[in-house]
Amino acid sequence: MTLQVQTPPLKGAKALVTGIANEHSIAYGCAKAFRDLGAELAITYAGEKAKPHVEPLAQALEAPIFMPLDASRQDELDAVFARIDREWGALDILVHSIAWAPKDDLQGGLLNCSAQGFAAAMDISCHSFVRMARLAAPLMKNGGTMFTMSYHGANKVVANYNVMGPVKAALEACARYLAFELGPQGVRVHAISPGPLKTRAASGLKDFDLLLTEAAARAPLGELVDIMDVGYTCAFLATPYARRVSGETLYVDGGVHIMA
Ligand SMILES: NC(=O)c1ccc[n+]([C@@H]2O[C@H](COP(=O)([O-])OP(=O)(O)OC[C@H]3O[C@@H](n4cnc5c(N)ncnc54)[C@H](O)[C@@H]3O)[C@@H](O)[C@H]2O)c1
């Protein structure tokens, strides 16, 4: 196989990145990596409180589309994809990097998780990816790549990950089923499973610093990952070099998940 790959490899690609809260966000690493490799960006922020933190990052990345997006609001989802359709007429890359659960439900253990808390965590952290995929797919006229962020706690029990474990397991399964359903139109779908990173979302987990210390100690590669490690992995998967890879849950964790 000979690939005719443009340089930079994502030149001209249009990417929607959701889930940037600040410069520590995994989504920011993705946006920066895509931009470094030539993509144009649409960036969203989750409400007015988040806007001042995200806006300077979107400006630095020269994102022509910058819009509010609360994943629980179908009107905001519709507005983002309608604008992309109007301005770009197409989309190549989607990043869903969003997770949320009510604090008491997140920190109280699965046994005590309320039905409402479980449903809210599942809706914002998992089904919102399906909603985004539904709107993104028609815009991926020449194929495309979709990403969502999972964690090792989907497949193994990680102390204090609690309700997010089952939610991420469902999310990884959604990525596989979407990969199956969208494969015929050339759309590839991946869950990415980063090792622990000190972000705002992670600060909601009890004893998160312990996870960081343990991951650094157990990683065959000997150190923690950073957001650019995750970003460049997604960028690679979005290029034609990875055109036959789909439905994967790809660990970007320095190898921690292979350890007993
Ligand atoms: N930090 C880690 O150690 C780690 C490891 C593996 C996976 N992840 C996953 O990576 C993803 C990104 O998290 P992060 O660590 O970069 O933290 P982060 O706090 O920077 O990002 C989480 C994002 O979710 C957004 N969000 C929450 N509720 C929302 C809603 N209703 N609508 C729209 N956006 C909403 C927040 O605004 C924020 O931008 C999450 O899915 C998380 O579970 C994180």
Complete DSSP assignment for 73-96? -HHHHHHHHHHHHHHTS---EEEE
Which tens digit of pLDDT belongs to each residue from 8-55?
999 999 999 999 999 999 999 999 999 999 999 999 999 999 999 999
Average pLDDT over residues 44-69: 98
Ligand 1 atom at minimal distance to the Cα of residue 19: 39
Average pLDDT over residues 234-254: 97
How confident is the model at residue 211, as a pLDDT?
93
**Cα–Cα distance, 33 to 41 (Å, whole number):** 11
How confident is the model at residue 6, as a pLDDT?
54
pTM (2 d.p.): 0.97
Annotated binding residues, as ranges? 19, 25-26, 98, 101, 168
Strand 93-96 vs strand 14-17: parallel, antiparallel, or unpaired? parallel
How confident is the model at residue 7, as a pLDDT?
82
Annotated binding residues for substrate, as ranges? 101
Active site residues: 151, 161
Q: Do residues 90 and 42 touch, judged by C-beta distance below 8 A?
A: no
Distance 149 CA to ligand 1 centre (A): 8
Protein fold of 14-258: Rossmann fold (3.40.50)
Nearest-5° Cα angle at 236, 172 to 69: 55
Which tens digit of pLDDT belongs to each residue from 166-210?
999 999 999 999 999 999 999 999 999 999 999 999 998 999 999
